[in-house]
Structure 1
Amino acid sequence: MDGLEPGKNIQIQSYKHNGQLHRVWDTTTVLKGTSNRVIGANDKTLVTESDGRTWITREPAICFFHAKYWFNVIGMLRDDGIHYYCNISSPFVFEDGAIKYIDYDLDVKVFPDMTYTLLDEDEYEIHKEQMNYPEVLDKILWNNVDNLMNWIRQRKGPFSPEFVDQWYEFYLTYRS
C-alpha cells in the first residue's frame, strides 16, 4: 500500500470520539503494511500528549493495527518478557503519512504470563456520556473487548509466542 512500504517511517495519531487529537507517536517504522493490516516498530520514540506534554518510550515495541478489528496491540519488549498494551479503538485508517484511530479508553494490559487486566472502565463510562457514544458503538466496543480477550487466551495474532520476537528481529535489520 502506498506510504506503508517496509522501512518507511510514519506517525501514529490517536484521536478521541469528538475528533480531538489525543496522542501522537512521532516515528514508527513500517515492517508490513497492507490495506488491512499494519505491523510497525518503534524504540525510544517521542510521544506528544494532547496538552503538549512529551515523553519518550522506554523500550522497543511492535505495533499491530487492523482495518477490521476495533482494537490495536502494542507488544513491548522488556527484560522480564513481553508486555502488551491493547487499546479498544476504531479500525485504523492511513492518511497523510500517519496511522489514525479513535481511542475508546478501554484498555487491556497483558503480562508475560498471558494473564490480563481490563483497564479504564470508569474513563470509558465518563466519555461515553460526555461524547454521546451511540448504543450500537457501545455494543461494537464491548464485543471487541471479548474478541480481544479470546485472541489473548488463544495466543492468536500478535499474542502468538513468536510474533513479537520475529517482528523485532526484522525491525533490527532497519536499524543497523
Structure 2
Amino acid sequence: MNSTYIQSYKHDGSLHRTWTAVDVIEESDEKFVAINENTRIFESNNRSWIAREPALYYLYKHQYYNVIAMLRNDGIYYYCNLASPSLYDGEAIKNIDYDLDIKFFPDGSYKILDEKEFRANKKLYNYPSVLEKKLRDEIEVLIKLHAQDLTPFNLKENERLFRKYLKED
C-alpha cells in the first residue's frame, strides 16, 4: 500500500471526510503512518479544500484516536481526532470520527475541541456510555504522551519520517 485514501465516517455509517492520495510511509501491527502534501480533502457537505502544509498522519489500529502532525513555519501542531481504531479494507484507511478533538500547540499548550458537537452527536447517534468513557480515557493518554514527548509527539521521530518521505519523493 503506497498511495491511498483516508475515509472518516460518522457513527451511523455516513461518510464524514475523505483525504485523497496520502502516501503510507510505514505500517506496523500498531499503526499506519501516512503523509500528505497538497492533498485535497472532501467534506460530507460537498465542500473541499487543500491541506496547506505537509502533515504526518498516525492512524492507530487499536487506539481510539489518530494524530495529525502539521508542519508549519512556527513549529509542529498536533491535531488529535478521537475516533475508532483505523483499518485498511483494500480501498482506504477507514475509521469512525467521534467528534472530540484535542489540539497541541508548539508551546506545549493544548485545547480540547468540539465538546458541544460531541454532546449533540452523543444524543443523536446514541453513543454508549462505555464509548464515552473510552474516549475520555484516550484524551488523558494523549495528554500524557505529549507531556512525555513520546510518539506521535516525538520531534526526532517526526523529523525522521518527514526525511524518509522526502527521500522517497
Normalised by the size of structure 2, how large is the TM-score?
A: 0.97
Asked if residue 54 in structure 1 is aligned to residue 51 in structure 2, the reply is: no
Aligned to 2:121: 127
Root-mean-square deviation (CA, aligned residues, Å) is 1.0
2: CA distance between counterparts of 1:96 and 1:35? Answer: 16
The one-letter amino acid paired with 1:165 is E
Tell me the percent identity: 41
The one-letter amino acid paired with 2:15 is L
Report the alpha carbon displacement of residue 147 of structure 1 after superposing the two structures with TM: 1.0
The one-letter amino acid paired with 1:166 is R
**1:12-161 alignment runs, 5 A limit:** 12-161=6-155
Aligned length: 169
2: CA distance between counterparts of 1:10 and 1:96? Answer: 9
2: CA distance between counterparts of 1:44 and 1:87? Answer: 20
The one-letter amino acid paired with 1:83 is Y
Aligned to 1:11: 5
2: CA distance between counterparts of 1:31 and 1:95? Answer: 17
Helix, strand or coil for the counterpart of 2:57?
strand
What stretches of structure 1 of length at least 5 have no aligned partner?
none
Normalised by the size of structure 1, how large is the TM-score?
A: 0.93
Report the alpha carbon displacement of residue 133 of structure 1 after superposing the two structures with TM: 0.3
**Cα displacement string for residues 96-154 of structure 1 (whole angstroms, at most 9, x for unaligned residues):** 33110111111011111221110111110000010000111111111111111111111
What stretches of structure 2 of length at least 5 have no aligned partner?
none
